[in-house]
């Protein structure tokens, strides 16, 4: 079973890099081109207007499988994104204006990408990470929407930013059904301001778009242990017909990791359908580069791979595998736990470059945003290393907490852990109380629960990069991969169910509560006021002695027929009193209701 599962991963990974190539290929094009064409709706005005220094927006569906798809390569560290929408931006404005710029940016992006990014506008949904995000900038804002459903309406505006859209070049492969059929897809937009260095030109901007898709080849499993063979046309249902005329270069890369002994495109293990234009050698892998310039209508480019021998696939793992889960039951409180488990690759990594003062350690940064309705008790933070609770500050090197304010801001926690290399597992647990919201604050499907955004675990001492010997300035994607990138992984999104009030009850609650208070007010005032009446009655009865009382009695007996007339007078007076009381009470309640009604009438009239 495991084997069959493993067999899938190779083609998948290949496709990821392949698609990345598309993104970067087309991206490069943009730099070459006239502004009007390449930066059509999005960047120019917006960037200048909001003074964005750097910005990244990603739409993701599905979760990157760090265990099977790799956690220690440039691809995963750059393109594995949390579910839903993630947006971060660094601004170039004074501190006081950062938040307003952020709000404007979210609104603009929301309109541009047909997504509810504008929900990130409210201060309860974004945070300002200081160092935990791995990018230390004091004007950084970070927000994510785990609930956002990503679909074609988000992809289309993204494709519109490409010079040839999805009409020509590699992007023609973007057949919607095949893209959205995959396990994982993530579209990413990275925008950064770059100083050209030259005087006259001033600063320019660099827009990177990348789409990462993990697909499963459609080939029928033929019973042998061979992995399924695939081709571009079988995966996407389309072929590449020539490059986008506006593109400077348009390349397809195929990375084969670990298995090939020789850099041949036809060997005893597998066979490629097309001859690569160039083969690069990395540390443990080979990179086959295909240039699609030559392809045309008559001769479309269709890369295919056929396996000849069964092969086993393994990928390089991040030093620790992070997962997150909820503990506890009920809707009152709970706890969040982040579990870091050692992976196999850790052993070889730990000895390499992590000796710190004679002690081998792994550093891990945890960055986590808590929505305000998850009221975290930071004093309950517990760290367990190898199932032993760690109370001393040995493991927890640095912690930065900004607690959440009810309905005002979200909470943020940044932690730097320093774990010994031989650690098997480490766990962080923190308790929280669930908040209770106003009925208007619940989303339409309130009983589904609320999402806590992914935590980001990054390893500041570990960097992933592809290590090429060759000079790669002409291949922008690869030069990007050659840069060291921080190893990071996002954890699962947590779904926290919150208790709901009865949504159909507002009127009942208001009337019942007001009645109770009317009861309090009326009866207490009555009890206090009773003396005068009683004294008067006392005086009257003293004066008339019998007349008044008898009259009252007779009237009372006339009122209630059937009752014996010899009911004691004190009781009758009490009853009469109580009837007076209740009628007065009734009157008061009616008065209050009337006032409320007129209030309502006049307020709605406005």
What is the end-to-end Cα distance of the chain in Å, rounded? 70
Rule CB under 8 A: say whether 405 interacts with other proteins. Answer: yes
Lookup: tokens for 447: 């009983």
Whole-angstrom Cα distance, residue 10 to residue 19? 15
Cα–Cα distance for residue pair 156/153, rounded to 1 Å: 6
Q: Pairing between strand 230-231 and 126-127?
A: unpaired
C-beta of residue 45 within 8 angstroms of C-beta of residue 254: no
Q: Which is nearer to other proteins, 37 or 505 (CB)?
A: 505
Give whichever of 505 and 591 is closer to other proteins, judged by the CB atom: 505
- Check binding of 259 to other proteins (CB under 8 A): no
According to the binding rule CB under 8 A, does residue 73 interact with other proteins?
no
Q: What is the CA radius of gyration of the chain?
A: 35
User: Cβ of residue 564: shortest distance to other proteins, in angstroms?
Assistant: 24
Beta pairing partners, 431: 335, 377
520 contacts other proteins (rule: CB under 8 A): yes
Contact by Cβ (8 Å): 172, 238: yes
Of 37, 194, 495, 512, which lies in the binding site for other proteins, with binding defined by CB under 8 A?
Answer: 512
Element (H, E) at 87: strand 84-91
- What lies within 8 Å, CB to CB, of 48 at 6+ separation is none
- CB of residue 269 to other proteins, shortest distance in Å: 39
Q: Which residue from 41, 167, 204, 377 is in contact with other proteins, where contact means CB under 8 A? A: 377
| Contact window for other proteins (CB under 8 A) among 48-56, 58-66, 342-350, 402-410 | 402-410
Site for other proteins in 437-466 (CB under 8 A): 437-440
Mask for 522-551, x = binds other proteins (CB under 8 A): -xxx-xxxxx--x-----------------
Nearest distance, CB of residue 90 and other proteins, angstroms: 25
Nearer to other proteins, 430 or 466 (CB): 430
Angle of helix 569-605 relative to helix 547-559, nearest 10 degrees, comes to 70
Angle in degrees, CA 34, 35, 36, rounded to 5 = 95
Q: Give residues 315-334 in contact with other proteins (rule: CB under 8 A).
A: 325, 327-334
* For other proteins, the closer CB: 309 or 539: 539
For other proteins, the binding residue among 107, 135, 160, 375 (CB under 8 A) is 375
What is the rounded CA–CA span in Å between residue 393 and residue 497? 33
x/- map, 492-511, other proteins, by CB under 8 A? -------xxxx--xx--xx-
**Interface residues for other proteins in 587-606 (CB under 8 A)?**
599, 603
Counted residue by residue, the chain has a size of: 606
Tokens of 437: 């919201």
Near other proteins in 264-293, by CB under 8 A: none
Q: Which is nearer to other proteins, 352 or 542 (CB)?
A: 542
Closer CB to other proteins, 437 or 466, in the complex? 437
Q: How far is the CB of 569 from other proteins (least distance, A)?
A: 16
Interactions with other proteins, residue window 343-372 (CB under 8 A): 372
Q: What SS3 class is residue 77?
A: helix
Closest residue by Cα to residue 459 from 359, 350, 384:
350
What is the C-alpha separation between 320 and 341, in angstroms, rounded?
A: 5
Site for other proteins contains 378 (CB under 8 A) = yes
**Between 230 and 373, whose beta carbon lies closer to other proteins?**
373
Choose the binding region for other proteins from 35-43, 165-173, 258-266, 377-385 (rule: CB under 8 A): 377-385
CA 547 to chain centroid: 83
Identify which of residues 524 and 597 has a Cβ nearer to other proteins in the complex: 524
When binding is defined by CB under 8 A, the residue of 203, 388, 473, 546 that contacts other proteins is: 388
Question: Could you say whether residue 384 binds other proteins (CB under 8 A)?
Answer: yes
The C-alpha atoms of residue 289 and residue 477 are separated, in whole angstroms, by: 11
Q: What is the total count of residues that contact other proteins (CB under 8 A)?
A: 71
Applying CB under 8 A, the span of 13-21, 300-308, 360-368, 375-383 interacting with other proteins comes to: 375-383
Site for other proteins in 409-438 (CB under 8 A): 411, 425, 427, 429, 431, 433, 435-438
The reply to whether 36 sits near other proteins by the rule CB under 8 A is no
Q: Does 131 bind other proteins (CB under 8 A)?
A: no
Contact flag: residue 337 with other proteins (CB under 8 A): yes
Beta-carbon-side half-sphere exposure of residue 365 (alpha carbons within 13 Å):
20
Question: Quick one: which H or E segment has residue 450?
Answer: strand 450-452
Q: Calculate the CA 471 to chain-centre distance.
A: 38
Place of tokens 């710029």: 101
Q: Which of 328, 249, 286 is nearest to 24 (CA)?
A: 249
**C-alpha span between 415 and 160 (Å, rounded):** 39
Q: How far is the CB of 568 from other proteins (least distance, A)?
A: 16
Q: Are strands 450-452 and 494-496 parallel, antiparallel or unpaired?
A: antiparallel
Determine, following the binding rule CB under 8 A, whether residue 340 of this chain makes contact with other proteins: no
Told to check if 391 binds other proteins by CB under 8 A, we report yes
303 vs 374, which CB is nearer to other proteins?
374
């Amino acid at each position: 079973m495991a084997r069959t599962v493993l067999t899938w991963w190779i083609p998948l990974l290949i496709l990821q890099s392949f698609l990345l190539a598309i993104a970067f290929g087309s991206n490069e094009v943009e730099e070459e081109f006239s502004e009007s064409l390449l930066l059509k709706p999005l960047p120019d005005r917006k960037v200048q207007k909001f003074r964005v220094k750097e910005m990244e927006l990603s739409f993701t569906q599905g979760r990157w499988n760090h265990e099977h798809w790799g956690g220690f390569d440039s691809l995963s560290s750059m393109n594995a994104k949390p579910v839903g929408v993630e947006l971060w931006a660094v601004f170039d404005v004074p501190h006081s204006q950062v938040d307003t710029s952020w709000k404007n940016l979210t609104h603009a992006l929301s309109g541009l990408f047909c997504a509810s990014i504008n929900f990130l506008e409210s201060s309860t949904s974004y945070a300002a990470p200081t160092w935990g995000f791995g990018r230390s900038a004091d004007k950084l804002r970070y927000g994510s929407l785990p609930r956002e459903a990503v679909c074609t309406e988000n992809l289309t505006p993204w494709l519109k930013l490409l010079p040839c859209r999805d009409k020509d070049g590699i992007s023609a492969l973007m057949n919607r059904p095949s893209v959205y059929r995959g396990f994982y897809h993530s579209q990413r937009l990275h925008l950064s301001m770059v100083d050209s260095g030259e005087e006259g030109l001033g600063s320019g901007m660099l827009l990177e778009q990348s789409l990462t898709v993990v697909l499963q080849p459609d080939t029928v499993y033929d019973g042998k242990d061979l992995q399924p063979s695939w081709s571009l046309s079988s995966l996407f249902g389309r072929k590449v017909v020539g490059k986008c005329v506006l593109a400077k270069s348009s390349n397809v890369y195929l990375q084969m990791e670990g298995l090939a002994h020789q850099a041949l495109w036809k060997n005893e293990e597998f066979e490629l359908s097309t001859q690569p234009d160039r083969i690069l050698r990395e540390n443990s892998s080979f990179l086959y580069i295909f240039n699609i310039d030559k392809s045309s209508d008559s001769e479309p480019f269709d890369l295919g791979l056929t396996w000849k021998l069964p092969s086993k696939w393994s990928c390089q793992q991040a030093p620790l595998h992070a997962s997150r889960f909820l503990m506890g039951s009920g809707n009152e409180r709970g706890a969040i736990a982040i579990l870091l488990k050692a992976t196999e690759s850790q052993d070889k990594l730990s000895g390499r470059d992590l000796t710190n003062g004679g002690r081998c350690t792994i550093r891990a940064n945890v960055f986590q945003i808590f929505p305000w309705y998850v009221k975290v008790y930071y004093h309950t933070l517990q760290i367990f290393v190898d199932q032993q609770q760690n109370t001393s500050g040995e493991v927890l090197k640095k912690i930065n907490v900004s607690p959440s304010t009810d309905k005002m801001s979200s909470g943020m926690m940044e932690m730097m852990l320093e774990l010994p290399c031989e650690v098997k597992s480490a766990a962080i647990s923190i308790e929280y109380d669930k908040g209770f919201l106003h009925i208007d604050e619940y989303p339409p499907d309130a009983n589904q629960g609320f999402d806590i955004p992914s935590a980001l675990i990054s390893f500041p001492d570990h960097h992933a990069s592809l290590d090429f010997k060759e000079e790669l300035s002409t291949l922008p994607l690869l030069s990007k991969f050659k840069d060291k990138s921080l190893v990071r992984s996002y954890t699962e999104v947590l779904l926290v169910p919150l208790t709901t009030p009865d949504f159909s009850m507002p009127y009942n609650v208001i009337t019942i509560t007001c009645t109770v208070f009317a009861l309090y007010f009326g009866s207490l005032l009555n009890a206090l006021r009773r003396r005068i009446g009683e004294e008067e009655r006392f005086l009257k009865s003293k004066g008339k002695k019998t007349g008044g009382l008898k009259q009252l009695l007779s009237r009372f007996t006339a009122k209630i027929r059937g009752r014996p007339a010899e009911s004691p007078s004190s009781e009758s007076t009490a009853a009469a009193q109580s009837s007076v009381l209740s009628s007065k009470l009734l009157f008061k309640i009616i008065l209050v209701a009337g006032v409320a009604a007129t209030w309502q009438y006049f307020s709605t009239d406005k």
